[in-house]
């Protein structure tokens, strides 16, 4: 998903000598991105301090190359800085810009909001800065490196040492705001953006002036892994609980995978429900059972919850049937489609299956991810996940010969045929399910179960 269009919330100046400045009140929404551009001047023979900034639910950070001194001659010293924050609370707040006890004779600022569509964990990919501190010029450019994705956008903030001149945005850029210090007539701050990749962030002005500029690449929203938690092996249970922590990232999805072994070959194992923070989850794909006449049945399931509560909360798993051992893994993601999070599901099971275990599904959307749930009767330590799969968690069961419960994920993936697999020595019974996770930009999804048969000694059960 391309980044949402930035909008200006407020801009302002403070021309009285002060070590800090406070913006007008703004309304912020949890999870959204806020961009703060600040320019200031001292009248001492010391460069302006790099500012910090905070508000209720906002703690701003400066990326590498996000600040530059653009006038360093005698007592005429100026700096421009780009800061960003992702709101952790919803409400109204002012933003306090602090210069670390150093007096500024003037400061100028602008705050922009990006409502949605940006990467929730690491939205700022890169920044570049440039300045002309000793020679007055009429244009300036900050050059970024190659962009990481075509959906990423470009943002720029720049300031000149002439408060009466007008700054012109760079080619193909759109101006957000231009804020002049009309009293001291020595700072003009411009913010601009482009809804595309542009490695040359530039601006120009009529009169020659000292100037500084920051160019920024803002990342489009994609699926990102947040956190994984293992319940630990449970024995002889009907239900159990464990805790998992979800971040405050945007467009969250919680996935719970369950792996269980029954006591008998015909034991009707069923997960009757899973809750997170007392909210019921939805089963994406259910019981795939490789019955064994001697060691009992196996089951793997995948459940999910859109927009789970943030923070540490309890996962409760309720089961019917006689369970000799089992466990569950929690995996939370951000950047997931909140209307149709499930792209596709599929699975396979077998008795005496030779390596590898593979489930292949046909993902519908571009940039989907896959997550799996596997339980098999395998000697401890001999199970290896497939290429490009990242482990959520793994457990070894207490049964004779050892059980392996595993869950892993991979992505982003091109639409079409995609697989999750595990290799091991020998041959074993197994039960494995896979779910595709759709990213925020996915639409017209076909949510269905892809039934995969692997070998002549493989049976398939689905619900």
Q: Please identify, among 165, 187, 218, the residue that sits at the C-terminal boundary of a domain.
A: 218
Range of the domain at 58: 7-218
CA-to-CA distance for 335 and 224, rounded, in angstroms?
Answer: 6
- Section 199-204 average pLDDT: 97
Same domain, 124 and 186: yes
R_g (Cα) of the chain, nearest Å: 28
Same domain, 76 and 211: yes
Q: Which carries the bigger pLDDT value, residue 65 or residue 378? A: 65
Token pair 């008998």: residue = 264
Q: Please identify, among 218, 244, 260, the residue that sits at the C-terminal boundary of a domain.
A: 218
pTM over 0.75: no
Token pair 């010969």: residue = 401
296, β-bridge pairs: none
- What is the pLDDT, as a whole number, of residue 448? 42
- Judge whether 196 lies within some domain: yes
- Judge whether 463 lies within some domain: no
**Nearest CA to 158 among 115, 149, 137?**
137
**Nearest CA to 116 among 31, 175, 226, 35?**
31
CA-to-CA distance for 235 and 182, rounded, in angstroms?
Answer: 73
CA-to-CA distance for 259 and 458, rounded, in angstroms?
Answer: 19
- What is the pLDDT, as a whole number, of residue 401? 54
- Judge whether 456 lies within some domain: no
Strand 270-276 with 279-280, pairing: antiparallel
pLDDT band at 460 (very low <50, low <70, confident <90, very high): very low
CA-to-CA distance for 333 and 317, rounded, in angstroms?
Answer: 20
pLDDT band at 354 (very low <50, low <70, confident <90, very high): confident
List strand residue ranges (DSSP E) for 195-341, in order: 200-218, 224-230, 234-246, 253-262, 270-276, 279-280, 282-285, 298-306, 311-334
Same domain, 101 and 52: yes
- Judge whether 266 lies within some domain: yes
Same domain, 414 and 352: yes
DSSP state of 387: T
Same domain, 141 and 252: no
Asked if residue 113 has pLDDT above 90, the reply is: yes
Number of independent structural domains in the chain? 2
**Nearest CA to 129 among 69, 191, 66, 79?**
66
Same domain, 171 and 237: no
**Nearest CA to 215 among 110, 142, 118?**
142
Q: Which carries the bigger pLDDT value, residue 417 or residue 293? A: 417
- Judge whether 129 lies within some domain: yes
The helix/strand count (H/E) of the chain reads as 0, 34
Same domain, 121 and 201: yes
Pull the structure tokens for residue 318: 């309720």
- Judge whether 434 lies within some domain: yes
For 343, left (φ over 0), alpha (ψ -120 to 50), or beta?
alpha
Q: pLDDT of 19-42, one tens digit each?
A: 999 999 999 998 889 999 999 999
Q: Please report, rounded to a whole number, the percentage of residues in the chain having pLDDT higher than 70.
A: 88
- Judge whether 157 lies within some domain: yes
- Judge whether 40 lies within some domain: yes
Mean residue pLDDT across the chain: 88
Same domain, 204 and 252: no
- What is the pLDDT, as a whole number, of residue 451? 39
- Section 201-230 average pLDDT: 93
Same domain, 149 and 53: yes
Same domain, 174 and 302: no
Q: Please identify, among 218, 237, 255, the residue that sits at the C-terminal boundary of a domain.
A: 218
Same domain, 103 and 169: yes
Same domain, 203 and 268: no
8 A C-beta contact, residue 38 and residue 96: no
Window from 127-136, 298-307, 451-460 with minimum mean pLDDT: 451-460
Strand 342-354 with 449-451, pairing: parallel
Q: pLDDT of 373-394, one tens digit each?
A: 998 876 545 688 999 999 999 8
145-154, 188-197, 258-267, 393-402 — most confident range: 188-197
């Amino acid at each position: 998903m391309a980044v949402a269009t930035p909008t200006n919330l407020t801009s302002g100046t403070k021309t009285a000598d002060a070590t800090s400045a406070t913006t007008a009140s703004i309304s912020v929404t949890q999870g959204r991105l806020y961009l703060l551009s600040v320019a200031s001047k001292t009248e001492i023979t010391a460069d302006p301090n790099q500012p910090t900034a905070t508000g209720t639910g906002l703690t701003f950070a400066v990326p590498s190359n996000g600040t530059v001194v653009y006038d360093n001659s005698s007592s005429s010293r100026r700096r421009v800085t780009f800061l960003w924050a992702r709101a952790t609370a919803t409400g109204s707040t002012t933003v306090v810009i602090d210069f670390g006890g150093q007096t500024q004779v003037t400061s100028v600022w602008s705050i922009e909001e990006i409502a949605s569509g940006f990467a929730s964990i690491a939205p700022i990919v890169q920044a570049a800065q440039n300045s002309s501190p000793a020679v007055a010029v009429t244009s300036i450019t900050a050059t970024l490196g190659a962009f990481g994705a075509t959906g990423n956008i470009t943002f720029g903030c720049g300031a000149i040492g002439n408060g009466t001149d007008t700054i012109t945005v760079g080619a193909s850029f759109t101006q957000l705001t231009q804020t002049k210090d009309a009293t001291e007539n020595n700072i003009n701050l411009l913010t601009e953006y482009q809804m595309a990749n542009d490695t040359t962030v530039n601006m120009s002005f009529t009169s020659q002036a000292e100037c500084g500029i920051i160019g920024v690449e803002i990342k489009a929203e994609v699926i990102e892994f947040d956190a994984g938690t293992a319940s630990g092996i449970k024995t002889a249970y009907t239900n159990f609980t464990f805790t998992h922590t979800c971040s405050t990232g945007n467009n969250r999805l919680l996935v719970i995978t369950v792996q269980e072994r029954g006591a008998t070959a015909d034991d009707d194992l069923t997960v009757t429900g899973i809750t997170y923070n007392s909210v019921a989850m939805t089963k994406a794909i259910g019981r795939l059972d490789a019955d064994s006449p001697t060691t009992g049945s196996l089951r793997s399931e995948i459940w999910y919850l859109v927009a789970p509560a943030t923070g540490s909360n309890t996962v409760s798993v309720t089961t019917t049937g006689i369970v000799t051992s089992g466990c569950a893994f929690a995996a939370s993601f951000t950047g997931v489609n909140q209307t149709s999070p499930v792209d596709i599901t599929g699975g396979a099971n077998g008795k005496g299956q030779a390596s590898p275990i593979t489930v292949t599904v046909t993902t519908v959307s571009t940039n989907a991810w896959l997550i799996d749930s596997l339980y098999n009767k395998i000697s401890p330590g001999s199970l290896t996940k497939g290429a490009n799969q990242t482990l959520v968690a793994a457990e070894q069961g207490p049964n004779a010969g050892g059980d392996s419960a595993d869950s892993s994920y991979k992505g982003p993936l091109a639409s079409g045929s995609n697989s999750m697999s595990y290799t091991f020595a020998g041959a074993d019974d197994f039960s494995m399910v896979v779910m595709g996770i759709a990213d925020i930009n996915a639409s017209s999804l076909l949510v269905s179960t892809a039934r995969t048969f692997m070998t002549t000694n493989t049976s398939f059960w689905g619900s």
